[in-house]
Structure 1
Amino acid sequence: MIVLSESSEQIKPSASSRDLKIVTETALLLGCQLYYIPQDFERCGTAENALYHIPKYPQYAAGIWVGYIPELYRYKAIYNAATAKGIKLLNTPWQHQTALEFDLFYPLLKGLTPESIVIHSINECAKAGDLLGFPVFIKGAIQSAKRLGWESCVANNYEDFVRISKYLLTLKYCSRGRVIVRKLVNLRHNRLAPNGLPMGREFRVFIYNHRVLKYGYYWEGRDDLSKLSLEEENAVLNLAVLASERLNVPYVAIDIGQLESGEWIVIETADAQFAGFSQIPVIELWNKLKDITLEG
């Protein structure tokens, strides 16, 4: 398996850069062919220049890109440049986009995830608030602003709704011009994050071609809710596989959460190439990923 990594000593320390460093070191440890690529086209200009140092492979080989969530145009450019080198990234641009952008995967997951509405401007806030009722959870098409706390992603009234939506629409990397309004649900939890956000009972499942590779608790730290009974584990993994079948994206990360009622739901999905690992042992995940991709 060929790995394109954005890991660099110049990257500002963060949870994401830590995960990127770990997965890059894991790829080297497992004997993957690794090539470093820049995080943007600022200096190299084009995707072809970013991959200039990579030889052309005589037969197509499976490739995985590990880095930060790219803009769509950049994913397409790197995908095409890699294909020209004989490297097939695990997800096509459309599959990458489907797994990542909420308004694309939501129609495929209806009934498995809370009711949601997509809006493109502040003018649509009033209607969406009337349809779902308050409070509502608000996020961008790609990410929420939950790192800033509860008040940055939960609206209790119209004024909150407008404030949060305006902010998200200014963040191109979070929203890509769309705001997602979700019916607020209460997840089981024992802890609150330092910013006051409930740390709901949630698990991230990595899947390749509808086969579970590994899963782990979403939040860091010790938590009694991180332990699943056999029955609960079956419920989580079966729901994740069902979601992956509906999405039809080869390499996908699916977050599954438990409501206070005990029901399991899909929280969201992502292109697993760019997903954090939570409490998942990376070397075990990549061992399985490497073996399964070599199977063809």
Structure 2
Amino acid sequence: MIVISEATEQTELSTSAKENKLMTETAQLLGFKVYYIPPDFQDCGTAENALWHIPQYAEETQGILVGYIPELERYQAIYQAALDKGIKLLNNPLEHQIAQEFDMFYPLLQGLTPESVIITSTDECIKASELLGFPVFVKGAIQSRKQQGWKSCVANNLEELTELTAKLLKLKYAARDRIIVRKLVNLRYQRFANNGFPMGREFRCFIYNHQILKYGYYWDGKDDLSKLSTAEEEQVLNLAILASQRLQVPYIAVDIGQLESGEWIVIEIGDGQFSGLSQISPLELWNKLGERVQ
């Protein structure tokens, strides 16, 4: 398997950049062939120029992109440029879009995840609130603002929903012009993050071709809720696999959370190439993925 990496050697790295670097170094340690590309086309201009140094492979070889969540156009360009070199990324552009954009995967997960409404303007907030009631969780099609805390994600009335929607629509990277309004559900939790966000009992599962590679507790740090009984583990993994079967995307990360009632639900889906590790060992994940892809 070929690894195309956006990792850099900068001294001061963000959390995502540190993880990209760790994943890349681990891949090299295990003997995967790694090629570096810039995290944008500002200097090189095109995907073809970014991948110019990668040799032509005579036989089609599986590849994986390690980096930041890309704009769809960037992913499409890199996918095609790599394919022209004989390297086929694990997810094609449509599969990447289905896994990454909420409004693409939500219709496929009916009954497995909280009821949600997709809106594109503040004018639609009234209709969304009438359908879901309050409180609601508000996020972009790609990302939420939970790093900024609970109040940046939860609306208790129409005024707050309108305000959160307006702010998110300005964040093109997170929203892509679509806002997701979700019925707020109460997850089991034991701790709060530093920003006051409740750390719900949630597990991230990496799946390739409907088979679990590795799973781990979503949040960092020690937490009694991170331990699953045998029966709970079976419930979590079965639900994650069911979600993957509905999506029919080769490589995904599925987040499964537990309600206060004890029921397990799907929280989020992501393209596995760009999903954070949570408490999963990169060495173990690469090993499993390498075995399955081969």
Q: Hey, what does 2:233 align to over in structure 1?
A: 233
Shift of 1:279: 0.2
Shift of 1:101: 0.3
Distance 1:110 1:19 in 2: 32
Three-state SS of the structure 2 residue aligned to 1:44 is: coil
CA offsets 1:184-217 (integer angstroms, 9 cap, x no match): 0000000011111100000000000000000000
Distance 2:107 2:196 in 1: 31
CA offsets 1:241-290 (integer angstroms, 9 cap, x no match): 00000000000000000000000000010000000000001101110101
- From the superposition, tell whether residues 71 and 12 of structure 1 become closer, same or farther in structure 2 (CA, over 3 Å): farther
Q: Hey, what does 1:103 align to over in structure 2?
A: 103
Equivalent positions of 1:274-293 (< 5 A) are 274-293=274-293
- Aligned partners of 1:236 and 1:264 also within 8 Å: yes
Shift of 1:130: 1.1
Three-state SS of the structure 2 residue aligned to 1:57 is: coil
CA offsets 1:115-149 (integer angstroms, 9 cap, x no match): 00000001000110111001000000000011001
Structure 2, unaligned runs of 5 or more: none
Misfit runs of 4+, over 4 Å: none
Distance 1:18 1:164 in 2: 30
- Aligned partners of 1:11 and 1:17 also within 8 Å: no
Shift of 1:10: 2.6
The residue identity in structure 1 corresponding to 2:78 is I
CA offsets 1:208-238 (integer angstroms, 9 cap, x no match): 0000000000000000000000000000000
Shift of 1:11: 7.2
Three-state SS of the structure 2 residue aligned to 1:219 is: coil
Three-state SS of the structure 2 residue aligned to 1:103 is: helix
Structure 1, unaligned runs of 5 or more: none
Three-state SS of the structure 2 residue aligned to 1:249 is: coil
Distance 2:267 2:219 in 1: 14
Q: Hey, what does 2:221 align to over in structure 1?
A: 221
Q: Hey, what does 2:193 align to over in structure 1?
A: 193
Q: Hey, what does 2:52 align to over in structure 1?
A: 52
Q: Hey, what does 2:141 align to over in structure 1?
A: 141
The residue identity in structure 2 corresponding to 1:129 is S
> Normalization by structure 1: what TM-score?
0.98
Aligned CA RMSD, in angstroms, stands at 0.7
CA offsets 1:84-129 (integer angstroms, 9 cap, x no match): 0000000000000000000000000010000000000010001101
The residue identity in structure 2 corresponding to 1:60 is E
Three-state SS of the structure 1 residue aligned to 2:123 is: helix
Q: Hey, what does 1:68 align to over in structure 2?
A: 68
CA offsets 1:2-45 (integer angstroms, 9 cap, x no match): 00000002375222112111100110001000000000110000
The residue identity in structure 2 corresponding to 1:265 is I
Q: Hey, what does 1:209 align to over in structure 2?
A: 209
Distance 1:129 1:11 in 2: 46
Distance 2:87 2:211 in 1: 22
Q: Percent identity?
A: 66
The residue identity in structure 2 corresponding to 1:6 is E
Distance 1:12 1:231 in 2: 43
Three-state SS of the structure 2 residue aligned to 1:151 is: helix
Three-state SS of the structure 1 residue aligned to 2:207 is: strand
Q: Hey, what does 1:166 align to over in structure 2?
A: 166
